[in-house]
Amino acid sequence: MNTGLPLNQPKRRISVHHLSYLILILLLLLVPLFFKESNSSLIIISNIAIMAVFAMSYDLLLGYTGIISFGHVMFFGIGAYTVGIFMKKFDYTWLYLFEALITVVIITATLSLLLGALTLRLKAHFFAMLTLAVAELFAVIGNKWRSVTNGADGFSFRVPDIFRDRLIFAYVAIIFMILIFFALRQFTLSPVGRILQGIRENEERMEALGYHILSYKIISFIVAGFIAGLAGMMYGIGTRFVSVPSVLGVDLTLDALLITIVGGVGTLIGAILGAGIIEVVSQMLQSFAKTYPIFERWLLFFGLAYILIVLFFPYGIVGTMRMVWEKRRYRRRGSKS
């Protein structure tokens, strides 16, 4: 199915492009400094960065490979719970943090490999349905397995002291986001990444060309899975608390969906922009809720906005901008239609 999304092309005029990225990075790195007095703002900034990574991993599936998963939150939750358990049951040292990291990667990669291999051959609808059910199942298991997870109440834990400084953590989160962004960008520009985009555009044609679709989809699923796990880990380290609703709830999947759609499907930058917008808006709505109770149903507004965007603005902000830009480029060159 031709989504009409512009394929990620390597830009020709390298210096301008690299320069703009450099400027962007510098700007991003400056942001925490503006808010260093306000802990709550720094927390929001960290959350934006972490959600941006989560959304980028989601976009890899949705925007680049054309896979809809409604269960992505389970990888996030695994990341958060793993670090929580390691910090609590063992010790909150760097050694265990490192081991937690390895464990997260192993678990998420294995889980996504298994799940992917079993279910990615299904039609989109059934895969989506199944992932929704699996995520639901994870939440239920999380709730029941109190000995490990402490259920819906969750538990708090300690982390190496350096992360307790909000400013430092904000920087860690932003650098994390930047690193993942470039890593994913390289991935999408690589031959594997191109193939994934080809699968998104026209699966049958890719198959006819001899590519083993299932294997590539599984690769995408694994990469997305363990990056989501890393995001979850960062989230755990930042909040020092995990519970089923906070890291395994279905609204996190919705957050990722919303961020990806608003920012732009198939554009990694869109995830960063979308995360910023969604976090800020949801903070605003939640504070409005204190004065105007109607906003307690902020999910309702998000849902409505989401529907309108999917209907009228399906390529999101960055996506639409890119399309406008591409059209202008063709027109200037006087290309054929």
Q: Which residues bind another protein (CB under 8 A)?
A: 1-3, 62, 66, 68, 70, 118-119, 121-126, 128-130, 132-134, 136-137, 140, 144, 203, 207, 254, 257, 261, 294, 297, 299-300, 302-304, 306-307, 310-311, 314
Quick one: 2 or 9, whose CB is closer to another protein? 2
Quick one: 170 or 206, whose CB is closer to another protein? 206
What does the alpha-carbon distance between residue 244 and residue 93 come to, in Å, rounded to a whole number?
24
Q: State which H helix or E strand residue 242 sits in.
A: strand 241-242
User: Nearest approach, Cβ of 65 to another protein (angstroms)?
Assistant: 11
What does the alpha-carbon distance between residue 297 and residue 287 come to, in Å, rounded to a whole number?
12
Q: State which H helix or E strand residue 106 sits in.
A: helix 94-119
What does the alpha-carbon distance between residue 238 and residue 168 come to, in Å, rounded to a whole number?
11
User: Nearest approach, Cβ of 1 to another protein (angstroms)?
Assistant: 7
Quick one: 99 or 201, whose CB is closer to another protein? 201
> What would the 3-class secondary structure string for 140-160 be?
HHHHHCHHHHCCCCCEECCCC
HSE value, Cβ hemisphere, 13 Å, CA-based, for 146? 3
User: Nearest approach, Cβ of 303 to another protein (angstroms)?
Assistant: 4
User: Nearest approach, Cβ of 70 to another protein (angstroms)?
Assistant: 7
User: Nearest approach, Cβ of 16 to another protein (angstroms)?
Assistant: 29
Quick one: 250 or 321, whose CB is closer to another protein? 250
Quick one: 28 or 257, whose CB is closer to another protein? 257
* Cβ atoms 300, 289 nearer than 8 A: no
Quick one: 35 or 306, whose CB is closer to another protein? 306
What does the alpha-carbon distance between residue 249 and residue 262 come to, in Å, rounded to a whole number?
21
User: Nearest approach, Cβ of 9 to another protein (angstroms)?
Assistant: 16
